[in-house]
Amino acid sequence: MEFSCARVIADWDAFASEWDQLFSRSHMQVPFLRFGYLRAWWQTLGGAEWQPESSALRIITAREQGELVGIAPLFLCEKPGWQPALRLIGSVEVSDYLDVLAPAEALDEFLEGLLAFLREDPELSVYPLDLLNLREDSQTLQALPRATGRNGYVFSKERLQPSPYIALTESWETYLAGLSKKQRHEIRRKLRNAENRHQTEWYVVQDEARLEEETDDFLAMMRQDPGKAAFLNPAMREHLQSSARFAFEQGQLQLSFLTFEGHKAAAYFSFSEGGKLWVYNSAWESAYAPCSPGWVLLAKVIQWAIDHNLREVDMMRGNEDYKYKFGAVNRYVTRVVCLPNPQL
């Protein structure tokens, strides 16, 4: 494998089409690793999570006979409380899952070559490789310790947040049958309550001409939550709007709304990718809280996923109680740090 480093946007953009071709063959396929998502993330540095003056592209690529076979989408960054390090583009808060891109059969060779390349680079050799938000089922977690030992790095691993997911069945009724009697009753009761009190409809945004307006409505609904309002600075709003636009263009956006008497009561912003639904964020109108619009819409979204033959609904990071009431079980994200060994 021949390795090189892209340090400027123009060099990154030059292999955009190759990026998504490699994504389709990669050992890890999550929405946050697509070129369009990460490119949108870089425009705002994760909604201003990082600052331009302390962030620099360092995307490492590997080729065999001219073909792109591996990408480590890295950037060199630092900020108060975080030591300077090479981290994955997308870190930390708004991209639930990150990783390197390479086919499973080439991953060991790619990671070993990556660390050797970093070790030999005069600029990059002094920085830790700090990989956040790796899924615990990532093959990178098995391959990287072997590569670090052979390249003079010290490997450490830390479990981070739970990331619950719901395994789907062949029908809505069999899905409900797999829940506890109490939770099955609760979901059905909330659905009946909403339908008895309101003229209830729900839809997935399909009209591109309305996408910007619908996304703005979603963000306005998010701002009703004080915690999310603080999160939604102008850069974060731009990031979410760009991410929605990219996902829609790729046919992967599942932006859904629940309405009561035609008024938006709840919304879910999700991605449909690789036979799974990835629930990215949610919002609801506080005025409708007695009718549990968030619960009602999530039930509709899960039923939609079953009807579209999806295998799983990934509820993403966070251990909010409602996720488990819908039958979610934990999977974790991890952090791996590879420290250069100064004695070698």
Class of the CATH-defined domain 2-162+333-340: alpha beta
Q: What is the pLDDT of residues 158-206, one digit of tens each?
A: 999 999 999 999 999 999 999 999 999 999 999 999 999 999 999 999 9
Cβ atoms of 59 and 118 closer than 8 Å = no
Q: Which of 108, 7, 114 is nearest to 57 (CA)?
A: 7
User: Is residue 149 very low, low, confident or very high in pLDDT (cuts 50, 70, 90)?
Assistant: confident
What digits encode the pLDDT tens for the residues 85-133? 999 999 999 999 999 999 999 999 999 999 999 999 999 999 999 999 9
Chain centre to alpha carbon of residue 233: 19
Share of the chain above pLDDT 90, in %: 95
CATH for the stretch 165-325: 3.40.630.30
Q: Could you tell me the pTM of the whole model? A: 0.94
Range in 57-66, 149-158, 240-249, 269-278 with the lowest mean pLDDT: 149-158
Sign for the CA dihedral angle at 129, 133, 139, 145 comes to positive
- Give the integer Cα–Cα distance in Å for 86 and 76: 5
For CATH 3.40.630.30, list the domain ranges present in the chain. Answer: 2-162+333-340, 165-325
Q: How many CB atoms lie within 10 A of CB 41?
A: 22
| pLDDT at residue number 343 | 64
Write down the residue that tokens 């932006």 correspond to: 255
Which H or E run contains 176?
A: helix 172-177
pLDDT in tens, 246-291: 999 999 999 999 999 999 999 999 999 999 999 999 999 999 999 9
Nearest to 242 by CA among 258, 253, 229, 231: 253
The pLDDT of residue 341 is above 90: no
Return the pLDDT at 152.
Answer: 84
Cα separation of 110 and 108, whole Å? 5
What mean pLDDT comes out for the span 202-218?
97
Q: Is the pLDDT of residue 62 over 60?
A: yes
Name the DSSP letter for residue 54. G
Contact status, residue 148 vs residue 115, Cβ threshold 8 Å: yes
